[in-house]
Amino acid sequence: MNHKSANLAIISNNTFEATKAVNLDNYDISSALQTTLEFNELIAIFSSKIAHKIPHSAFIYTNTEFALEVKSGVFTRHSCNYALKVEQQQLGELKLMRNHRFSDGDLQLLETLLCCLIYPLKNATLFHQALKMAYTDPLTQTHNRASFNDTIKREMSLATRNVKNLSLIFFDIDHFKTINDTYGHDCGDITLALGAKWIKESLRDSDIIFRYGGEEFVILLSDTDANGAGLLAERIRTSIENHTIAYGMETIKITASLGVSTLRANDTIESFILRADKAMYAAKNKGRNQVVLAK
Ligand SMILES: Nc1nc2c(ncn2[C@@H]2O[C@H](COP(=O)(O)OP(=O)(O)OP(=O)(O)O)[C@@H](O)[C@H]2O)c(=O)[nH]1
């Protein structure tokens, strides 16, 4: 098997002009790659545009920064791998596969063609980094309220279209004001960040946590019924109760109240959220540190 692993397609200042010239030679590829900022589309366009020059049966593109794996085609015996990078920016790894080995000439040509892909990939990376920042709460590294507003719409229409369950947990730290008042705002911030971390540790990959406001978090659970959501909420509650926060010489224990709602056929976004919010307040009224399922 011919394995040309971890080749770096690095374009330094020295070769920048050469790259431009290469792009002109492959104008068709370069212009097609300017039509999108989506990684999967970029790689698919690149693969199809180079197919007549470098025949291949499949590609796999991985990008750890965005937890992406894009693959297509029939996986075969021979492969070549490229770790793509420009100006210290990692752009992911591309692997091409086929039945017969890639010759040195093929690899040389491929490296030239990869120059067309590098800057579109860099633009896609910058775009998705900016998008990620706009949708992330900096303190807790959870999705923010703007992200919640977009995601709940999408998840509700997906659940309705596919006749799947969708549940929502409203999570609120108990007596959080006392932590701020007793130990200071910094300690409050640490508590929020740790609370979010402990919630995340209880979730599956498909569950999404959002910071809804101050000390309130919302967790969206796709394909999860009321029973499953209740069990998860209880697991989160127990995890919060069992952890201890070390702050200077102090050790602090916290608890949380959680409300759970499951999507109904006639729900609006507001009614779906309101049921979980009311259930969370019912948990507060019943003495806090508990889970209440919405009726
Ligand atoms: N440190 C810190 N505090 C915040 C942040 N956002 C909101 N808060 C505080 O969170 C507190 C919320 O307090 P309350 O709404 O009275 O609720 P609580 O004290 O948790 O009481 P219960 O919810 O009834 O158990 C307020 O003191 C806010 O100032 C933040 O980003 N950092």
Q: For residue 27, what is the domain's CATH number?
A: 3.30.450.40
Count of structural domains within the chain: 2
d(CA 49, ligand 1 centre) in Å: 55
Q: Which of 142, 145, 183, 215 to mutate to test the pocket of ligand 1 (most atoms within 8 A of CB)?
A: 215
Whether residue 222 sits in one domain with residue 255:
yes
276 falls within a domain: yes
Q: Residue 274 belongs to a domain with what CATH number?
A: 3.30.70.270
pLDDT tens for 92-105 read: 999 999 999 999 99
- pLDDT, mean of residues 103-114: 93
Task: Identify the domain boundary among 104, 134, 164.
Answer: 134
Which atom of ligand 1 lies nearest, measured to the CA of 172? 23
Whether residue 289 sits in one domain with residue 188:
yes
Whether residue 162 sits in one domain with residue 95:
no
Tell me whether residue 173 is exposed, middle or buried, using C-beta atoms within 10 angstroms of its C-beta: 0 to 12, 13 to 18, 19 or more.
Answer: buried
- Asked whether residue 169 carries a pLDDT value surpassing 50, the answer given is yes
> Coil, strand or helix: which one is 93?
strand
> What does the buried/exposed string (b/e) look like for 26-61 if buried means 16 or more CB atoms within 10 Å of the residue's CB?
beebbebbeeebebebbbbbbbebbeeebebbbbbb
pLDDT value at position 23?
53
Whether residue 204 sits in one domain with residue 167:
yes
Q: Which of 141, 173, 177 to mutate to test the pocket of ligand 1 (most atoms within 8 A of CB)?
A: 177
- Residue 89: which pLDDT band, with cuts at 50, 70 and 90? confident
The CA angle 83-87-88, to the nearest 5 degrees, is 65
Q: What is the mean pLDDT of the chain?
A: 91
pLDDT value at position 269?
96
- pLDDT, mean of residues 103-118: 93
Whether residue 255 sits in one domain with residue 155:
yes
163 falls within a domain: yes
CA distances from 98 to 67, 77, 176 (A): 25, 6, 59
139 falls within a domain: no
140 falls within a domain: no
Q: Which residues line ligand 1 (CB under 6 A)?
A: 139, 172-177, 180, 185, 188-189, 192, 214-215, 284, 288
Dihedral angle sign, alpha carbons of residues 150, 156, 161, 165: positive
Interface predicted TM-score (ipTM) of this complex, two decimals: 0.92
* Percent above pLDDT 90 for the chain: 87
pLDDT value at position 21?
46
Dihedral angle sign, alpha carbons of residues 274, 277, 283, 287: negative
- pLDDT, mean of residues 131-150: 96
- Asked whether residue 244 carries a pLDDT value surpassing 50, the answer given is yes
Whether residue 46 sits in one domain with residue 155:
no
CB atoms within 10 A of CB 128: 17
- pLDDT, mean of residues 265-273: 96
pLDDT tens for 23-79 read: 555 788 999 999 999 999 999 999 999 999 999 999 999 999 999 999 999 999 999
Which atom of ligand 1 lies nearest, measured to the CA of 257? 25
Residue 110 structural domain? 7-134
pLDDT value at position 69?
97
- Asked whether residue 191 carries a pLDDT value surpassing 50, the answer given is yes
d(CA 213, ligand 1 centre) in Å: 9
Q: Is 215 a catalytic residue?
A: yes
pLDDT value at position 22?
52
Q: How many helices (H) and strands (E) does the chain have?
A: 9, 12
Which atom of ligand 1 lies nearest, measured to the CA of 186? 1
Whether residue 192 sits in one domain with residue 120:
no
1 falls within a domain: no
172 falls within a domain: yes
Whether residue 178 sits in one domain with residue 248:
yes
Task: Identify the domain boundary among 134, 168, 203.
Answer: 134
Give the separation between CA 26 and CA 49, rounded to whole angstroms.
Answer: 10
pLDDT value at position 7?
42
Which atom of ligand 1 lies nearest, measured to the CA of 188? 1
Whether residue 159 sits in one domain with residue 124:
no
- Asked whether residue 18 carries a pLDDT value surpassing 70, the answer given is no
* Percent above pLDDT 70 for the chain: 92
- Asked whether residue 217 carries a pLDDT value surpassing 50, the answer given is yes
**Do residues 36 and 45 make contact, with C-beta atoms less than 8 angstroms apart?**
yes
For the chain, state the CA radius of gyration: 25
The CA angle 244-250-252, to the nearest 5 degrees, is 35
Higher-pLDDT residue of 17, 187:
187
Tell me whether residue 264 is exposed, middle or buried, using C-beta atoms within 10 angstroms of its C-beta: 0 to 12, 13 to 18, 19 or more.
Answer: exposed
Q: Which of 142, 144, 171, 176 to mutate to test the pocket of ligand 1 (most atoms within 8 A of CB)?
A: 176
Whether residue 45 sits in one domain with residue 167:
no
Structure tokens at 174: 């108990």
Task: Identify the domain boundary among 107, 134, 161.
Answer: 134
pLDDT value at position 87?
84
70 falls within a domain: yes
- Asked whether residue 20 carries a pLDDT value surpassing 50, the answer given is no
Whether residue 130 sits in one domain with residue 149:
no
Give the separation between CA 10 and CA 7, rounded to whole angstroms.
Answer: 9
256 falls within a domain: yes
**Do residues 102 and 4 make contact, with C-beta atoms less than 8 angstroms apart?**
yes
Structure tokens at 83: 């770790």
Whether residue 129 sits in one domain with residue 158:
no
pLDDT value at position 8?
43
